[in-house]
Amino acid sequence: MNGEDKLLDESFFARETTVVARDLLDKVLVREIDGQKLWGRLVEVEAYLGPQDIAAHSKGGRRTPRTEVMFGEPGRAYVYFTYGMHWCLNFVTREAGMPQAVLVRALEPGPGVGRCGGPGLVTRALGIDRALNGVPLVPPDLYVVDDGAPKRRVFVTPRIGVQGTGRWEKRLLRYVVDSPALSRPIRRQRLRAR
DNA sequence: ACCGCGATGCCCT
DNA sequence: GGGCATCGCGGTA
């Protein structure tokens, strides 16, 4: 992480969610906590597409205390708690009023950072919890940069943990690059490259 | 390799 | 009260 890094700003996140998800791969998520910088390279994300998307928290336009952040400005963190023990980090996308987001599922961890092969592991390794819900993705606390690293080939699969056989469950809204840090290994034959 | 399940607590109906 | 955008372990193979 050096002076060449370019911060991904609000205009980056204000675009179509699937495009944001794809573009986030190979970018670097940075967390600064207690004066130390923890980071990891994004290798697995998922798009959640709002009211029409039956797997999204904002399905049907649900506007509740939990989903409120997704209805607001793009480029903020949406952090929620699940299964009694895990925090999950999302980036809010699209303009205000369109409750869409990208879930961070895996990172290639930087030096001194623990395993990040799963959404709960990412937040544990980077010290992310409800205190960061709703914060803008700007330094110093939590932000994403382009460090100029080469972009790898992107693969798409159905989203993890989304049950059912309907259209939304089958949609290829999980975006990954081939990495040992993924939450689940790629099965080459079933994979569709783009 | 796959499958089942317990942990644990918040959210929403 | 049911379900959950999870994880890690233990069993079977």
What single-letter amino acid sits at A85? M
Which pLDDT band, with edges at 50, 70 and 90, does A188 fall under? Answer: low
Structure tokens, A111 = 């030096």
pTM of the entire predicted model: 0.95
Q: A46: domain CATH number? A: 3.10.300.10
Task: Name the DSSP class of A53.
Answer: -
Q: Hunting for tokens 């949406």 — which residue is that?
A: A78
- A189 in any annotated domain: no
- Could you tell me the residue range of the domain that residue A116 belongs to? 6-182
Q: Which chain C positions have some atom within 7 A of a protein CB?
A: 4-8
Domains of chain A: total: 1
Taking the C1' atom of every nucleotide in all shown strands and the CA of A105, the nearest one is C5
- A187 in any annotated domain: no
Could you read off the pLDDT of A9-48 as tens digits, one per residue? 999 999 999 999 999 999 999 999 999 999 999 999 999 9
- A191 in any annotated domain: no
- A151 in any annotated domain: yes
- A1 in any annotated domain: no
